[in-house]
Amino acid sequence: MREQEPDALVRPISGGSPGSGEEAISVQTRPRIALVVWARHYRDSLLAILRGREDFVIEEIAPGDEDHVVRLVERPPDVVLLDLPSTELAILVRRLHAAHPSLKLVALNREETESELLPLFEAGLTGFVPAEATGAGILESLDAALRGEFHCPPRIATALVRRLSQSALPGRVPGETSLTMREHQILSLAEQGLTNKAIAERLGISPATVKNHMHNVLGKLSAHRRTEAIARLRSRGWTG
């Protein structure tokens, strides 16, 4: 996990050059883009790209600072660009989406896989920028978000539609039915008291894969711990 930078701060930055009083007033009507990015070198690169757009007002948010997260909730921008470790990212996406369902949330530098992206889109993410995207690609994604467009890889969009179709079937139980067979299997072994390492050995997969599956389970069930996830499924008639 990347370490938090102690000197990160909140500071609004207007795109383009300082202007007259009339220009300053117009800043109030420009789209506000909040940047929540852990790595300073990447954040600085993004700022350099975004400053080229005179129609944006950019605001840096210190990752991990609760006061700054509260500011995001109390005074939401138009778009939030996010690049955080997976667990922190999922938590912040759920929190911001719960407070402001229409808020545009765009993730940067995620793996382009269903296990990585599906839980985030289900939690409220509205856009995705892959690691190989150019500066122009990032700006295109921002413009798409401001237009209200849902932007994600085609196969992820297909998987989301499949999930929605499955959850809409009569007799399906929300939460339980959204789990994959592997996720059910891992949760069942976790209920037996097995650690991630023991589950990995039992299933012949890596502990990191088990951790990723468990993270997805917690996100789908809006649970903070595996015991809470198990309890929620048990209350819905899950038999493990």
What pLDDT score was predicted for residue 27?
55
Q: Average pLDDT, whole number, for the chain?
A: 78
141-185 pLDDT per residue, tens: 899 999 988 877 777 777 777 766 555 444 444 444 467 778 888
Delimiting residues of CATH 3.40.50.2300 domain(s) in the chain: 11-156
Looking at CATH, the fold of the domain delimited by 11-156 is given as Rossmann fold (3.40.50)
Exposed, middle or buried: residue 33 (CB in 10 Å: 0-12, 13-18, 19+)? buried
Given a cut of 60, is residue 36 above it in pLDDT? yes
**Residue 138: which residues within 8 A CB-CB, separation 6 or more?**
46, 49, 108, 129
* Sheet arrangement for strand 11-14: 11-14, 57-60, 32-37, 79-83, 104-108, 127-129
Which amino acid is located at 100 in the chain?
A: H
What pLDDT score was predicted for residue 80?
95
What pLDDT score was predicted for residue 175?
43
Q: Please, are residues 52 and 44 in contact by the beta-carbon 8 Å criterion?
A: no
Task: State the pLDDT confidence band at 7, using cuts at 50, 70 and 90.
Answer: very low
Q: What percent of the chain lies above the pLDDT cut of 70?
A: 77
Delimiting residues of CATH 1.10.10.10 domain(s) in the chain: 170-235
Residues 120 and 128: their CA atoms lie apart, in Å, by: 10
Q: Please, are residues 97 and 105 in contact by the beta-carbon 8 Å criterion?
A: yes
Task: State the pLDDT confidence band at 17, using cuts at 50, 70 and 90.
Answer: very low
DSSP, residue by residue, 4-70:
PPTT---EEEESS----HHHHHHGGGSPEEEEEES-HHHHHHHHHHHTT-TT-EEEE--TT-HHHHH
What pLDDT score was predicted for residue 3?
45
Higher per-residue confidence, 91 vs 18: 91
What pLDDT score was predicted for residue 170?
46
Looking at CATH, the fold of the domain delimited by 170-235 is given as Arc Repressor Mutant, subunit A (1.10.10)
Q: Which residues of 149-179 are buried (b: 16+ CB within 10 A; e: fewer)?
A: eebbeeebeebbeebeeeeeeeeeeebeebb
80-109 pLDDT per residue, tens: 999 998 888 888 898 898 899 999 999 998
pTM over 0.75: no
